[in-house]
Amino acid sequence: MYSQGLIGADGRTDEAPEFLEAFQKRIDAEEKIEPMDAMPEGYRRTLIRQIGQHAHSEIVGMLPEGNWITRAPSLKRKAALLAKVQDEGGHGLYLYAAAETLGVSRDQMTEELLSGKAKYSSIFNYPTLSWADIGTIGWLVDGAAIMNQIPLCRCSFGPYARAMIRVCKEESFHQRQGYEIVMTLARGTPEQKAMAQDSLNRWWWPSLMMFGPHDAESQHSDQNMKWKIKRFSNDELRQKFIDATVPQAQFLGLSVPDPDLTWNEEKGGYDHGPIDWDEFWRVVKGGGVMNRDRIEARQKAWDDGAWVREAALAHAEKRRARKLAAE
């Protein structure tokens, strides 16, 4: 992925201090930065890294749920799931387009994903073992995505912020359809309720990991908050997610798989048990159950789509030549 390198992010930069100060003033005044505006190289690279990772996550994120379209238990469930998976594909496309305005091509971003240089969200390296997982993904994974993305609607970079508004509206529908699936199971037979509980047990901790490492370990947070790309830290968003989600689990009569989870009256939120960061980094670095399958599936889609890209280019070239000839 695009590392922030030596420019900007760590304070070392070749760019004039007056330029960086003037840019920071625009950020502090809550002005939106647009693609043709002058921007520090570190800001541009950070956005390419984050938006690229986000786009890859949406596209790879279609795979775990896509796996269940043919096995959805009714026509209604199939139609809703199909629409959801298509929405995620749309989100990936807006995000690739937003990143392209920063001077990176979609081909470059795809190459970085396929070569393992670019990351995508750790959550999509877990398998979907039962129908309940489809409900749980909508409830928890889309729920976590919304918690992270609502503040991104106020991101300082205009195209990213604007893309997030529509994305959040759609994610909000996804979250509700997921919760409704889990509610149906939780109110069903004892076997169905057990299936919902087993799914919550498997997805709870990976969902908390979606917010990224603890603040003390988060290498990009400080600079990203200064540039108003991020508005809240990883831990702040994780806490908001836990506080919103635990009552939803209680309402369903399901238990959150964390024996240390306790309400802390003083802070007005839940205290939680330790997150297994070894597991997080193992999954991020390619050692999760599904990492290999996910990249193989993306590689196959890229290879199978080569003729479409070639045909589109040939068609565009023909049109251009025809237009030139007519001039």
Site map (CB under 6 A) of ligand FAQ, residues 248-277, x = contact: ------------------------------
Shortest Å, Cβ 19 to ligand FAQ: 24
Q: Of 105 and 219, which has the nearer Cβ to ligand FAQ? A: 219
Environment class of residue 307 by beta-carbon count within 10 Å: exposed (0-12), middle (13-18) or buried (19+)? exposed
Contact 58, 95 (CB under 8 A): yes
Candidates 162, 166, 220, 282; binder of ligand FAQ (CB under 6 A) is 220
- Give the interface segment with ligand FAQ, choosing from 17-25, 137-145, 262-270, 293-301 (CB under 6 A): 137-145
At 229, give phi and psi (nearest 5°).
Answer: -80, -50
209/277 Cα distance (integer angstroms): 8
Q: Of 148 and 177, which has the nearer Cβ to ligand FAQ? A: 148
282/167 Cα distance (integer angstroms): 29
23/17 Cα distance (integer angstroms): 10
Q: Which of 303, 293, 201 is nearest to 254 (CA)?
A: 201
Contact 199, 252 (CB under 8 A): no
224 interacts with ligand FAQ by CB under 6 A: yes
47 interacts with ligand FAQ by CB under 6 A: no
Candidates 1, 7, 82, 93; binder of ligand FAQ (CB under 6 A) is 1
Sign of the CA dihedral with 211 first, then 147, 32, and 34 last: positive
- Give the interface segment with ligand FAQ, choosing from 134-142, 158-166, 191-199, 268-276 (CB under 6 A): 134-142
Q: Which helix (H) or strand (E) holds 131?
A: helix 131-136
DSSP bridge partners of 263: 270
Q: Of 219 and 264, which has the nearer Cβ to ligand FAQ? A: 219
- Give the interface segment with ligand FAQ, choosing from 31-39, 105-113, 217-225, 314-322 (CB under 6 A): 217-225
What part of residues 73-102 is at the interface with ligand FAQ (CB under 6 A)? 88
Shortest Å, Cβ 132 to ligand FAQ: 15
Site map (CB under 6 A) of ligand FAQ, residues 6-25, x = contact: --------------------
Shortest Å, Cβ 223 to ligand FAQ: 9
What part of residues 277-306 is at the interface with ligand FAQ (CB under 6 A)? 284
Candidates 168, 200, 209, 252; binder of ligand FAQ (CB under 6 A) is 209
176 interacts with ligand FAQ by CB under 6 A: no
- Tell me the C-alpha to C-alpha distance, in Å, between residue 123 and each of 175, 246, 306: 16, 19, 28
Candidates 44, 54, 202, 240; binder of ligand FAQ (CB under 6 A) is 54
Sign of the CA dihedral with 14 first, then 19, 21, and 23 last: negative
Contact 185, 193 (CB under 8 A): yes
C-alpha dihedral over 110, 113, 119, 123, to 10 degrees?
100
- Give the interface segment with ligand FAQ, choosing from 26-34, 102-110, 135-143, 305-313 (CB under 6 A): 135-143
DSSP bridge partners of 271: 262
- Tell me the C-alpha to C-alpha distance, in Å, between residue 155 and each of 28, 30, 100, 228, 250: 12, 9, 17, 6, 33
Shortest Å, Cβ 116 to ligand FAQ: 11
Contact 286, 116 (CB under 8 A): yes
Residues that bind ligand FAQ (CB under 6 A): 1, 49-50, 53-54, 57-58, 61, 88, 119, 121-122, 137, 141-142, 145, 148, 209-213, 218-221, 224, 234, 284
